Amino acid sequence: MVAIDTVDLADPATFATHDLSEFWRTLRDTTPVHWNPPSAHHRGFWVLSRYTDILATYRDDVTFTSEYGNVLVTLLDGGDAGAGRMLAVTDGPRHNELRKILLRALSPRVLSDVAVAVRANTRRLVRAAVDRGECDFATDVASRIPMTTICSLLGVPGSDHEFLLSLTKTALSAEEDHAEDIESEMARNDILLYFQDLVEERRAAPGDDVISLLAASTLGDEPLSDDDIVLNCYSLIIGGDETSRLTMIDAVHTLAKHPDQWRRLVTGECAVDTAVDEVLRWASPSMHFGRTALRDSTIHGVPITAGDIVTLWHASGNRDERAFTRPEVFDLGRTPNRHLSFGHGPHYCVGAALAKIEIAELLLALRDFTTGFERTGPAARIRSNLLTGFSTLPIRFGGAPDRPAEASN
């Protein structure tokens, strides 16, 4: 058991070196509004661990704003440069209008075409990996599905996909314990610079991609500026890659440990859509989001002062016994399953439907092309106070199932 007063949730090492399951359970039971004290490197902040408190805070964008940052990296650094322009850190009427534009870019019509490409790419990658017999699932399969999808939507040339993948992996996490914060900052800047060039190209020669759509859009009577477009491309590339990729890796890691759940998926006992929500709940790839209090308030009688940082921990809320029956059990048939992995309220992830398509196609491809899989070595965890998951996952596949794979639905 980790002592509550020794845990610093701002320190990425905390998540690399501790199992925090008991810590979160203790907070939910005894201290649902917990103060993470300041250190020599950062100010203090509030920690919400219960599902209902997280929902209530997400819904209340009058008392709590995202415009001073929405993750600890920016909240503790004094704010987000994209505030008021990037959807994730914009509130009020401007947020609503910008959200409508981005939802048009990810409309059901667009996603129906995208789903066909996702399916083909996923099945090609999985089948090739199964044919080889062994692979690093994290790098050989999972890294090549979401990034390909979001880059295609944004009109990023195929030759640049690997470059952007390397940047997104570094922007909010690290694969090495000794990685410096400056590397993450440089990666974030490089992503912004890359899209600045691409926006200029699309201004001169529009296409049928999301960047061209943004370049032709207006907020009120004003066209979106280059900075508006660049910042939202940054948000789309980060969000479009990290959640799906880390959830896919975690799904295979977890299914390898739960052969009973794999059998339920293979036999059709569990609907794929239901399974997708459970792997998202279980993985909780974005451990938290955050807000800043705009006015004095109270939560469970604890006074929250205007200007305080309040962090909302999906890693705990998705395991809250008050919201989920037997939350410690990985159950692909779990329903209802109103997990928090895409956030909630006005800032519910605009790419949630796309992420679900990608994860569903992965589960279908695994079901259709292999009888199972097992780990062949340790899975290395990423280093982050925001994201959780694995940077490597060496696995060995079983043989092909005795059924015509391409006939499966």
Query: 133 pLDDT exceeds 90?
Result: yes
Q: In the chain, helix, strand, coil percent, each to 5? A: 55, 10, 35
Q: What pLDDT does residue 325 have?
A: 98
Query: 144 pLDDT exceeds 50?
Result: yes
Tokens 């491309």 identify what position? 233
Q: What percent of the chain has pLDDT over 90?
A: 89
- Give the tens place of pLDDT for each residue, 150-199: 999 999 999 999 999 999 988 877 665 555 678 888 999 999 999 999 99
Residue 219 main-chain phi, psi, to 5 deg? -110, 110
Contact between residue 402 and residue 291 where contact means Cβ atoms under 8 Å apart: no
Closest CA to 395 of 135, 140, 128: 135
Residue 336: cis peptide before it, omega within 30 degrees of 0: yes
C-alpha to C-alpha distances, 266 to 47, 61, 262, 365, nearest whole angstrom: 39, 42, 6, 11
pTM of the model: 0.94
Q: What pLDDT does residue 408 have?
A: 46
- How many residues are there in the chain? 409
Q: What pLDDT does residue 409 have?
A: 46
Does 19 or 407 have the greater pLDDT score?
A: 19
Query: 407 pLDDT exceeds 50?
Result: no
CB-facing half-sphere around the CA of 46: CA atoms within 13 A: 27
- Distance from the first to the final alpha carbon of the chain: 45
Contact between residue 368 and residue 408 where contact means Cβ atoms under 8 Å apart: yes
Does 170 or 33 have the greater pLDDT score?
A: 33
How would residue 2 be classed by pLDDT, with cut points 50, 70 and 90?
Answer: low
Q: Where are the domains of the chain?
A: 4-407
Query: 5 pLDDT exceeds 60?
Result: yes
Question: Across residues 128-135, what is the average pLDDT?
Answer: 97
CATH number of the 4-407 domain: 1.10.630.10
Q: What percent of the chain has pLDDT over 70?
A: 96
Question: Across residues 246-251, what is the average pLDDT?
Answer: 98
Angle ∠(373,256,11) on CA atoms, nearest 5: 125
What average pLDDT does the chain have?
A: 94
Query: 369 pLDDT exceeds 60?
Result: yes
Query: 69 pLDDT exceeds 80?
Result: yes
For 400, other C-beta atoms within 10 Å of its C-beta total 14
How would residue 405 be classed by pLDDT, with cut points 50, 70 and 90?
Answer: very low
- Give the tens place of pLDDT for each residue, 72-109: 999 999 999 999 999 999 999 999 999 999 999 999 99
- Give the tens place of pLDDT for each residue, 305-336: 999 999 999 999 999 999 999 999 999 999 99
Q: What pLDDT does residue 258 have?
A: 98
